[in-house]
Amino acid sequence: MDLEYLGGRYSGWQWQDNALSIQQVVEEALTKMICHPVRVTASGRTDAGVHALCQPAHVDVATNMEDIQILRGLNSLLPEDIAVRAVSTVDDRWNARKDATHKTYRYIIHNSRVPSVFSHGRVWRIPHALDIPAMRAAATMLIGERDFTSFRASGCSSKSPVRRLIALDMALGRVESFYPPPAPTAEGEGTLVIMNFTGSGFLKQMVRNLVGTLVEVGRGKTPPEDVATILEAKDRRAAGPCAPPQGLCLMDVEYRSEE
């Protein structure tokens, strides 16, 4: 399944004992439709408040229903902020999490003193002017295989802090083009700062911590060259604050083969 969702009402993807998660909602809807318990495995966990335009997931079901029937039936049972974009039958060996090779996250900042209702819940609004060239200069130091200990959450359970950041591009857009998702405008135009992060994988809150640090650079609080020192420190306290979740969206997940 390819899922999309707005994460504002949820505690994240993974089941929680005391809060509503996207995984819980999807599993309960699917269980109701096919009449047996299921466990849905996504490509990865998204945190509370984080959105997804494309969250691949797999589930084992015992049913004679066609893919299109599952697609339509599931969407009829899901709330308006969760939808299934596509359903397809795959080989039993295919795994949405283990077979993923690259992921792309997008973070959007609304750099304006004036809010926009059309971007509400989808951006981090920053009223202070940001130095975009300085942020871009800092971003270049993050590309490649790095130890991202300084940018991982304290509760991160990953065994290794090493990740490969393949690309980090930054563009400007206009709020007026927010629906559909904002397209880049001419250089120097627009109040949306659109950052796309593509990597082999990401640590817990890594993208949000990177964004928070880049914003500190943009506000002139941290020189761009200090990002290299922050990486070398391997200490979360050396980096900037964690950016809020509503500006983050999982955009795409790539796999080893077209299947």
φ, ψ for residue 217, nearest 5 deg: -65, -45
Rg (CA), the chain: 19
- Per DSSP (E only), the strands in 67-161 are 82-86, 100-110, 124-125, 144-147
Beta bridge partners of 57: 42
Pairing of strands 82-86, 2-5: antiparallel
Separation of alpha carbons 121 and 102, rounded Å: 26
Instruction: Say whether 36 sits in a helix, a strand or coil.
Output: coil
The answer to whether residue 47 is catalytic is yes
Tokens 């391997």 locate to 234
At residue 21, φ and ψ (nearest 5 deg) are: -115, 160
Question: For strand 100-110 and strand 51-58, is the pairing parallel, antiparallel, or unpaired?
Answer: unpaired
DSSP letter (8 states) at residue 30: H
Q: Could you say which of 47, 60, 81, 147 is catalytic?
A: 47
The DSSP 8-state label assigned to residue 52 in this structure reads E
**In the chain, where does DSSP find H-type helix?**
22-34, 67-77, 132-140, 206-218, 226-233
Residues marked active site are found at 47
